[in-house]
């Protein structure tokens, strides 16, 4: 019996080697052919062929020389930034922020626009994406993916928005309209989930496989990461803890969902600002009021304790089901409360349940949703571009 031949094996090996080399160039910066050979375990000849292949496809470029001993200087190669671009978009009730990044992950264009007084979400997103790409000097045809972070539910099956409390004009059918308008893949993702992606890459959850991120702002939301992957649930509603029934707050059966849900009424920004005000601390926002309580030292303790108790109800309900080792507090309230609030929430959860997760404040201070959108887009586009390096 003759040996079994695996069709396409050399092609597959080339693709794997090419992908490994591109990832090395992204993480380690410019490298020579010899360095790529050493790091990938390839021979000098194979490494040279690999670089030529990637150069021909426009994925790597020469960026300089490295002086050596005897003989000519070695050429340095890097991933060509302009081989592909992505755009991340953070959409909220009053603004949209869009950023354009090249395939290396460098943000090269960003724009912020108001969403007030507009009935045309497609037009607003279109303008923001176009301006971000223009700011980056990126041809629209080279923008390979747009990821939009939005509050509310995203259907895991269709990818469309099914409900957004703060964005009543966002509705089913919007995804198809945006894809047709922009002529590029467009993806919706829940904003809190994207913040968790940024936290896992850059922040307090780096290197942690299982954690939850609590977004405490106008409303209260939650992102669940299990085994290093986001958990969306069957309908995309995993983490919508604003709808958690809590003692002392009437359960609203309004099918239109126009009113603030129970836990949102107890622990949303308006409620927490009211708690601070009742204790004599005022501010233009919940975050300002919480910062005032912290600045007051021991005098602000009772207000901060009550705020922590309210947030801990949602955290505890989540943690007795999932039992994660880590909880990250994010959003305007989480950031403003800092370590003082996180430690109080941690203590309260341990006091009222059988679990005692570590509760920490976010370490992604600026534009976490936007950064998560760019990360998500880059992961997909790199798979697409780098995964098709052999013809």
| Whole-prediction pTM | 0.91
Mean pLDDT (the chain, rounded) = 90
The alpha carbon of residue 156 and the mean position of all alpha carbons in its chain are separated, in whole angstroms, by: 17
Spatial neighbors of 71 by CB under 8 A, at least 6 apart, are: none
Under the banding of pLDDT at 50, 70 and 90, the label for residue 3 is very low
* Mean pLDDT of the region 308-317: 97
Residue 279 and residue 272: Cα distance in Å, rounded? Answer: 11
For residues 302 and 279, is the Cβ–Cβ distance under 8 A? yes
**Cα end-to-end distance, the chain, whole Å:** 32
Residue 9 pLDDT greater than 50, yes or no:
yes
- Stated as kind and residue range, the H or E segment containing 349 is helix 331-352
* pLDDT more than 90, % of the chain: 71
Q: Which of 81-90, 118-127, 284-293, 323-332 comes out lowest in average pLDDT?
A: 118-127
Residue 295 and residue 291: Cα distance in Å, rounded? Answer: 6
* Domain extents in the chain: 10-79, 85-193+369-388, 205-363
- The domain 85-193+369-388 having CATH identifier 3.30.420.40: the answer here is yes
For residues 165 and 268, is the Cβ–Cβ distance under 8 A? no
Residue 86: its pLDDT value, please? 97
Class of domain 10-79: mainly alpha
Cα angle for residues 282, 286, 287 (degrees, 5° grid): 100
Between β-strands 95-102 and 85-91, what pairing exists: parallel, antiparallel or unpaired? Answer: antiparallel
CATH of domain 205-363: 3.30.420.40
Please check whether the two domains, 85-193+369-388 and 205-363, share a CATH topology: yes
* Mean pLDDT of the region 189-214: 97
Residue 2: its pLDDT value, please? 46
Residue 365 pLDDT greater than 80, yes or no:
yes
Name the region of 111 (left: φ>0; alpha: ψ -120 to 50; beta: rest): beta
Residue 1 pLDDT greater than 70, yes or no:
no
Spatial neighbors of 219 by CB under 8 A, at least 6 apart, are: 151, 165, 166, 242, 260, 261, 264, 268, 269
How many residues are present in the chain?
391
Residue 167 pLDDT greater than 80, yes or no:
no
* pLDDT more than 70, % of the chain: 93
Q: Centre a 10 Å sphere on the Cβ of residue 76 and count the other Cβ atoms it contains.
A: 18
Helix ranges (DSSP H) in 206-284: 262-267, 269-278
Read off the pLDDT of residues 61-110 as tens digits, 9 standing for 90 and up.
999 888 766 667 889 999 999 999 999 999 988 889 999 999 999 999 99
Structure letter (DSSP) for residue 160:
-
Residue 121: its pLDDT value, please? 78
- Stated as kind and residue range, the H or E segment containing 374 is helix 368-386
Residue 217 pLDDT greater than 60, yes or no:
yes
Residue 209 pLDDT greater than 50, yes or no:
yes
Q: Which of 34-38, 189-193, 326-330 comes out lowest in average pLDDT?
A: 34-38
Residue 389: its pLDDT value, please? 44
Residue 358 and residue 345: Cα distance in Å, rounded? Answer: 9
Residue 107 and residue 83: Cα distance in Å, rounded? Answer: 14
Residue 8 pLDDT greater than 70, yes or no:
no
Under the banding of pLDDT at 50, 70 and 90, the label for residue 390 is very low
Under the banding of pLDDT at 50, 70 and 90, the label for residue 122 is confident
Does residue 211 or residue 94 have the better pLDDT? 211
Residue 38 pLDDT greater than 60, yes or no:
yes
For residues 87 and 98, is the Cβ–Cβ distance under 8 A? yes
Q: Which of 151, 86, 100 is nearest to 121 (CA)?
A: 151
Residue 254 pLDDT greater than 50, yes or no:
yes
For residues 341 and 164, is the Cβ–Cβ distance under 8 A? no
Residue 264 and residue 192: Cα distance in Å, rounded? Answer: 15
């Amino acid at each position: 019996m003759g040996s079994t031949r695996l069709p396409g094996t050399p092609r597959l090996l080339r693709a794997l080697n090419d992908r490994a080399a591109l990832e090395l160039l992204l993480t380690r910066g410019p490298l020579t052919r010899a360095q790529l050979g050493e790091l990938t375990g390839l021979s000098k000849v194979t490494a040279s062929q690999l670089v030529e292949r990637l150069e021909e496809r426009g994925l790597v470029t020469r960026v300089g020389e490295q002086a050596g001993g005897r003989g000519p200087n070695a050429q340095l190669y890097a991933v060509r930034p302009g081989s592909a671009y992505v755009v991340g978009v953070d959409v909220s009730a009053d603004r949209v922020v869009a950023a354009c990044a090249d395939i290396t992950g460098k943000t090269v264009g960003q724009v912020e626009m108001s969403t007030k007084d507009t009935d045309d979400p497609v037009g607003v997103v279109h303008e923001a994406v176009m301006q971000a790409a223009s700011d980056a000097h990126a041809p629209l045809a080279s923008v390979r993916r747009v990821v939009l972070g939005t509050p509310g539910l995203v259907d895991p099956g269709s990818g469309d928005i099914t409900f957004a409390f703060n964005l009543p004009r966002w509705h089913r059918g919007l995804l198809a309209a945006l894809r047709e308008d922009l002529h590029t893949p467009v993806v919706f993702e829940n904003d809190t989930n994207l913040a968790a992606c940024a936290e896992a890459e850059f922040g307090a959850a780096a290197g942690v496989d299982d954690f939850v991120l609590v977004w405490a702002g106008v409303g209260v939301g939650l992102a669940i990461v299990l085994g290093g992957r986001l958990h969306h649930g069957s309908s995309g509603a995993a983490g919508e803890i604003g709808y958690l029934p809590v003692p002392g707050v009437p359960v609203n059966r309004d099918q239109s969902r126009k009113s603030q849900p129970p836990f949102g009424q107890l622990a949303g920004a308006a409620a927490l600002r009211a708690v601070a005000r009742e204790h004599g601390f005022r501010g233009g926002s919940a975050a300002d009021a919480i910062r005032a309580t912290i600045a007051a030292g021991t005098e602000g303790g009772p207000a901060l304790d009550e705020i922590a108790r309210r947030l801990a109800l949602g955290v505890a309900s989540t943690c007795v089901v999932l039992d994660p080792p880590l909880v990250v507090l994010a959003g305007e309230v989480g950031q403003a409360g800092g370590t003082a609030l996180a430690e109080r929430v941690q203590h309260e959860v341990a006091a009222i349940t059988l679990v005692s997760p570590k509760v920490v404040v976010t370490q992604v201070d600026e534009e976490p949703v936007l950064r998560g959108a760019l990360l998500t887009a880059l992961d997909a586009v790199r798979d697409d571009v780098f995964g098709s390096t052999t013809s």
